[in-house]
Amino acid sequence: MRMAQIDNALRKETGAHYTPPELAAFVAEQIVAHIDASSASLRVLDPAIGDGALMEALVLRLDGAKVTGFDTDASALSEARDRLAQFVPADRLDLQKADFTNLCLHATGTDLFAQGQIGPFDSVIANPPYVRTQVMGARRAQEIANAFQLSGRVDLYFSFLLCIASVLRPGGVAGVIVSNRFMTTRSGEEIRRRLLSEFEILHVWDFGDTKLFEAAVLPAVLILRKRRSDTGAGTAPRMSAIYTTSEPAEKHAHSVFEALQFSGNVSVNGETFMVRHGTLNHGESPDGVWRLATKSGDAWLDTVERHTHYTFGDIGKVRVGVKSTADKVFVRHDWHLMPDDAKPELLRPLLTHHNARRYRADTEARPTQILYPHEVEEGRKRSVDLSRFPKSAFYLAQHRAQLEKRHYVLDAGREWFELWVPQNPDAWRLPKLVFPDISEKPVFWLDLEGAVVNGDCYWIAPQTEAETDLLWLALGVGNSTFIEEFYDHVFHNKLYAGRRRFMTQYVERFPIPDPSTHIAGEIVGCAKAMHANPCRRDAAELQKRIDLLVRQAFGVSSEEVHG
């Protein structure tokens, strides 16, 4: 069995996604373009060598390099040794069964080669394992976070990147394949800052939804040079991105990698990709979101910024919906089949992604209710007294054994029948903007019925009457083609099939124009008309009108700018 065909269970446990040969060749070529490949004394490292495909691609492009590799999988190391022995003499091949990050964790200092333990290396090529906090376990994640001063949701490859900085000589070059998530998420803020501090970023290649791996990995390739003490600001890092598009192709290529030689829409084996090249921009903060900047795109964003008076985050905090961690007990769409004398009293309407529709939820598509055992008393959130709700108490008692298996609820000093994340019970009655976490197009709707929002959606509830008025304007902006373009300029975090992530850190930055203008008033009027009847006969024409008005409000044309 080839190592690239490891089963899904092992892949999830170890985070191993072995590198396709074409991608290995691409990374190796990028490294060789930035080092003196003619030198006969180069020391090269792969800290998670796997089956050796990455290192093979590199040594085929170098003469006489001394190779070091680590991995925790003995069978993978054996395959790597057999593969590399064809090109590397035994006295220049050092493969060890070891955990590279453990070497860092247990070192007396973070600079490993200064300790004389590993390296220094002239070049590192790596495809670190993708293992997130919830898979590697809280204890291991906390150990890594503490050792490398990381916070939030930690991915194992974060520590690999920092360890690579410790073993690479100043001026040395690394080519690393990572998940592109870190470039835009809050959990990636610290690693973005550290990368800019430790390395010169030579080029970031975002391969998006090109499906280079068997698993659902959206990869990016980082080409990094270890900073020297005299390294100045230098030139702006380069960045390129390739994502699927439904637009017609302008050019044709035989592979994703050949497509990167072009700009615009490129057809590859029946699929069309949008290829963009520019510079890496992280705003004014070193831990800011990484985005691809172009002259035309930056000019567009500058215009938008000049016409922005508020953001969605100014209306109210962007919150995720409730999380029960026992949906089969709390969330059902068949409560109505229960006899009235058995139906729990604590049922409330629930909005989920199944109800997602622009402007107003489609509650007829899948009417769902949640048993919601929380209330507010004297300004404090608490669980209800079940003795006041006998039918709810009886129903929950039938599922008590299952609910008590949620040990983390009990360990937190909570009642066994509580939702894990209930949010503020009083806030549900407020008007609120609701939107699904994942959607190809932006889908925002306004809830005026006091429904609870499920954990697959986010919501914004205003705190004042003035902020309530902004909800209608935000509703029009959020459902416009303008906000799609804004998202793609600033975040461009797409999953497969062009689906976007509408997370807190993205949506809170969505812009709102001056609400006092005539154009803003017309947007509000159109949004209210769509909310009153989303299926109205002239809905398509009215949506086009909203799209035009929103662009006018932000001072940009109706033509999309891809850069």
User: Under 8 Å CB-to-CB from 125, ≥6 apart: which residues?
Assistant: 27, 28, 31, 44, 45, 46, 54, 55, 57, 58, 174, 175, 176
Task: Name the percent of the chain lying above pLDDT 70.
Answer: 87
Helix crossing, 539-553 with 465-478: angle to 10°? 110
Instruction: Give the model's pLDDT for residue 97.
Output: 94
**Of the candidates 335, 552, 365, 557, the residue with the CA atom closest to the CA atom of residue 445:** 365
Q: Give whole-number Cα distances, 468 to 258, 352, 461, 509, in Å.
A: 50, 22, 8, 18
Which of 192-201, 444-453, 488-497 shows the lowest mean pLDDT across its residues? 488-497
**41 within 8 A of 195, measured Cβ to Cβ:** no
Distances (CA, A) of 523 to 370, 398, 508: 34, 50, 20
Residue 499: half-sphere exposure toward Cβ, Cα within 13 Å: 11
* pLDDT higher than 70, residue 5: no
* pLDDT of 4 above 60: no
Nearest alpha carbon to residue 144 among 163, 123, 116, 126: 163
pLDDT of residue 229 exceeding 80, the answer is no
Measured CA to CA in angstroms, residue 374 lies from 378, 381, 382, 404, 455 at distances of 13, 7, 6, 17, 16
What's the pLDDT score for residue 63?
86
Cβ–Cβ under 8 Å, residues 228 and 189: no
Is a pLDDT exceeding 80 seen at residue 213? no
Beta bridge partners of 331: 370
pLDDT attached to residue 147:
64
Q: Give the pLDDT band (50/70/90) at residue 534.
A: very high
Kindly write down the DSSP assignment for every residue of 436-469, as one continuous string.
Answer: ESEESS---EEE-S--EEBTTEEEE--SSHHHHH
Instruction: Name residue, tokens 């691409």.
Output: 26
What average pLDDT does the chain have? Answer: 88
What percent of the chain has a predicted confidence (pLDDT) above 90? Answer: 68
Q: pLDDT band at residue 139, thresholds of 50, 70 and 90?
A: low
Decide if pLDDT at 428 tops 90: yes
Contacts 24+ apart (CB under 8 A), 10-13: 11/215, 12/135, 13/135
The widest CA-to-CA distance across the chain, in whole angstroms, is 84
pLDDT at 134 over 60: no
The better pLDDT of the pair 99, 233 is held by: 99
Q: Which two tokens stand for residue 546?
A: 């909203």
Does 56 have pLDDT greater than 90?
yes
Residue 136 vs residue 200, higher pLDDT: 200
Of 497 and 295, the one with more pLDDT: 295
pLDDT surpasses 60 at 363: yes
**Residues 363 and 357 sit within 8 Å (Cβ to Cβ):** no
Alpha helix locations (H) across 150-237? 156-167, 189-198
- What is the band of 370 on the pLDDT scale with cuts at 50, 70, 90? very high
- 141 confidence band (pLDDT: 50, 70, 90): low
Which residues, 6 or more positions from 528, have their beta carbon under 8 angstroms from its beta carbon? 472
Contact yes or no for 298/280 (Cβ under 8 A): no
pLDDT at site 142: 66
Q: Cβ neighbours of residue 323 under 8 Å, at least 6 residues apart?
A: 419, 420, 421, 455
How deeply is 386 buried, as exposed, middle or buried, from its count of CB atoms within 10 A (0-12, 13-18, 19+)?
middle
In this model, does residue 258 exceed pLDDT 60? yes
Per-residue pLDDT at 561 exceeds 50: no
For residue 14, pLDDT beyond 50: no
- Gap between the Cα atoms of 293 and 282, Å rounded: 9
What pLDDT is recorded for position 8?
47
Output the six-digit token pair for 175: 């080519």
Domain 3-235 class, CATH top level = alpha beta
| Cα separation values, 153 from 15, 162, 283, 420, Å | 15, 16, 23, 19
> Mean pLDDT, to the nearest integer, of 450-478?
92
Domain residue ranges of the chain, discontinuous segments joined by +? 3-235, 318-553
**Per-residue pLDDT at 151:** 61
- Taken in order 274, 277, 278, 279, is the CA torsion positive or negative? positive
| Positive/negative CA dihedral, 10, 15, 17, 19 | negative
Q: Is 387 left (phi over 0), alpha (psi -120 to 50) or beta?
A: alpha
Q: Reply yes or no on whether the pLDDT at 510 is more than 50.
A: yes
Cβ-defined contacts of 386-390 (< 8 Å, 24+): 386/417, 389/344, 389/345, 389/346
Q: 58-72, 129-143, 411-425: lowest mean pLDDT where?
A: 129-143
Closest CA to 265 of 275, 253, 255: 275
Contact 370, 322 (CB under 8 A): yes
With a cut of 60, say whether residue 374 has pLDDT above it: yes
String of DSSP letters for 230-245: T----SPPEEEEEEE-
* Poorest-pLDDT segment among 122-136, 166-180, 366-380: 122-136
- Which segment of 15-29, 138-152, 479-493 scores lowest on mean pLDDT? 138-152
Chain segment 239-255, per-residue pLDDT in tens = 999 998 888 999 999 99
Residue whose tokens read 């109706």: 558
Q: How confident is the model at residue 2 (pLDDT cuts 50, 70, 90)?
A: very low
Q: Per-residue pLDDT averaged across 309-328, rounded?
A: 96
H or E segment at 75?
helix 74-84
Span 167-196, average pLDDT: 90
Residue 529 has pLDDT above 60, yes or no: yes
Give the model confidence (pLDDT) of 322-360 as tens digits.
999 999 999 999 999 999 999 999 999 999 999 999 999
pLDDT band at 216 (very low <50, low <70, confident <90, very high): low
pLDDT for the residue 11: 41
φ, ψ for residue 519, nearest 5 deg: -60, -45
pLDDT band at 108 (very low <50, low <70, confident <90, very high): very low
pLDDT band at 15 (very low <50, low <70, confident <90, very high): very low
Contacts by 7-13, CB closer than 8 A, 24 or more apart = 8/215, 11/215, 12/135, 13/135
- What pLDDT sits at residue 104? 75
- Amino acid letter, 161: L
Q: What pLDDT, on the 0 to 100 scale, is given for residue 155? A: 64
Helix axes 189-198, 156-167, angle to 10 degrees: 10
User: Which pLDDT belongs to residue 6?
Assistant: 43
